[in-house]
Amino acid sequence: MEHMLANIALSWFDPSLLMLTALGTLAGIYVGAIPGLSVTMATSILISFTFRWEVNDALALIAGVFVGGVYGGSRTAILLNIPGAPSAIATAIDGYPMARKGEAGEAIGLTTVMSVFGGLVGILALALFAPLIAGFAIQFNSRDYLLLGLIGILLVGSLSGESFAKGAFAGALGVLIGMVGLDPMTAEGRFTFGSIQLMGGIPYIVAMIGFFGVAEAFVQLHNLDRPVIRQKITRIIPRWSDLKRYFALVLRCSGIGTIIGALPGTGGDIAALLAYDHAKRSTPDPEVPFGEGAKEGLVAPEVANNAAVGGAYVPMLTLGIPGDAVTAVIIGALFIHGLKPGPLLLVETPHLFWFIVGNLVLANLFLLIFGLTGIRIFTKIVECPKAILIPLIIVFSAVGTYAIQNNPTHILWMLGFGVIGYFMKTYGFQVGPVILGVILGPMLDENFRRAMLRARGDVGKFLWDFVSHPISLVLTIAFVMLLLSQTPLWKRWRLR
């Protein structure tokens, strides 16, 4: 016990570890805030020069970047309607309307505190239930991932805006964009038209930057002459009443984030979208409507994506399976340092496990400090004249798009998506469902086909599998209930 506590607190009292965690968290916030600079990319680069370091030093820096980066994406989502990372897409839906009302300071303050709370719940789950959660997560198979994807795609209904048909179109367009390239199961070309450039597919960050960043820049051209909205920075620390009011939601979304983060192949992006959908369904009467600056819509995704960090460490440390792209890179780092993440890690090197737990807590505390102190400078971005901001957004979008795979064709895609996104926004389409489709489409496709292959193409067995396994049954019931709750019949029954 004493040994465990000493390892948890190791980074809290060691000056160099303390400094590295702080540096990593601060850098992570800025990496996360810039679209195109991903946490995965930053972690990979860190590994290239930390492999000679002491393992604890390297892990402290990487954990800081991971925690800071997941949170950082919310900054540009709130201030500019341009999510810095896919995990902040849902944050933009209600965060940006708050900034337009001059409440960016309050939005960022609330986001910061709730992100830290979510992060701590994720770490607590890692510390207390790691083997249990890992054992549960490993039982998920293709049809369960399919059901998760289907539950996620129902979010189209929540994100559709003025018309469900427009939302459905946007979501299906996203799925179609996600299908472009070689089929991962058969290597058959889909919508490639013989082009080598298209065979690699279209990364969803390119679509995100185009539909959100470039399209928003074009839309803002109409508002050049409007006076700049001055941000009220009178309240940064959230109200106690707000914290109390959202406590139950925060706990539920922390659970969603931890579980989704622990599932191999899913991460903060899917966790945030599911949590947003949950918030919308479970809050029938928000103070401000969803999509117009509802705090519930801001809190839920941010709590979930930060809780997913702790969740992602669970299968990585206990099973040696990455929970998401960043933990896949961290596994590489652990191997470089001669460690073996997997079932024996807790037995052979328990000190490392407890060090990671303590260090993640420290990174979250630094997140609270840096998140609440830099708000005034950040909010100046919104007060910058749009005539300066718009060309800057285009250039940062271009360099961010290019940085993903060093492919100039992606910049052309970005522009194309930007133009389509402009018309979609102008004619009342929401672009959120497009990104939802791009993220969930490949997951749905792959898992549907795997589940169908497991059933040997027999539709009867395929359907029976959904109700004959416990996890699948629970998810099927959840999916059917959520689907029913979107029908007019249900809504009429609720109003009765």
Partner 1 sequence: MKERSPLRPGELVFAILLAAFSALALWQAYRISGFTGLSTPGIFPMLASATMLIASAFILADALSRRRIESGAQTPVLTPRLVVFVAMVAAYVFAMPWVGFMLSSAVFLFAGFTVLWRRSLLVSLALTAGTLAVIWIVFRLVFQVVLPRGTLLQGFL
Residues that bind partner 1 (CB under 8 A): 34, 37, 41-42, 45, 162-163, 165-166, 168-169, 171-173, 175-176, 179, 183, 185-186, 188, 190-191, 214, 218, 221-222, 224, 385-388, 390-392, 394-396, 398-399, 402-403, 406, 408, 411-412, 414-415, 418-419, 423, 426-428, 437, 441, 444-445, 448-449, 452-453, 457, 459
Cα angle value 125/307/337 (rounded, 5°): 75
Please give the DSSP secondary-structure letter assigned to residue 88.
Answer: G
* Contact residues for 336 (Cβ-Cβ < 8 A; gap 6+): 47, 51
Closest to partner 1 by CB, 133 vs 208, is 208
Closest approach of partner 1 to the CB of residue 468, in Å: 19
Backbone CA torsion sign across 118, 29, 404, 436:
positive
Cα angle value 85/46/9 (rounded, 5°): 95
Q: Are 296 and 246 in contact (CB under 8 A)?
A: yes
Closest approach of partner 1 to the CB of residue 131, in Å: 34
Tokens of 104: 């960016």
* Cα 305 to Cα 318: distance, rounded to the nearest angstrom: 21
Nearest to 70 by CA among 267, 290, 319: 267
Closest to partner 1 by CB, 321 vs 390, is 390
Closest to partner 1 by CB, 132 vs 387, is 387
Closest approach of partner 1 to the CB of residue 158, in Å: 16
Closest approach of partner 1 to the CB of residue 485, in Å: 20
Q: How far is CA 309 from CA 323, 339, 350, 373, 413, in A?
A: 9, 20, 20, 23, 31
Closest approach of partner 1 to the CB of residue 409, in Å: 9
Nearest to 401 by CA among 32, 29, 35: 35
* Contact residues for 308 (Cβ-Cβ < 8 A; gap 6+): 70, 87, 122, 257, 258, 260, 261, 267, 268, 271, 272, 323, 324
Closest to partner 1 by CB, 184 vs 350, is 184
Closest to partner 1 by CB, 15 vs 385, is 385
Closest approach of partner 1 to the CB of residue 232, in Å: 26
Closest approach of partner 1 to the CB of residue 165, in Å: 4
Closest to partner 1 by CB, 102 vs 416, is 416
Closest approach of partner 1 to the CB of residue 44, in Å: 10
Q: Angle, nearest 10°, between helix axes 408-426 and 386-405?
A: 130
Closest to partner 1 by CB, 227 vs 385, is 385
* Cα 93 to Cα 297: distance, rounded to the nearest angstrom: 7
In one-letter notation, the amino acid at residue 76 is T
Closest to partner 1 by CB, 190 vs 252, is 190
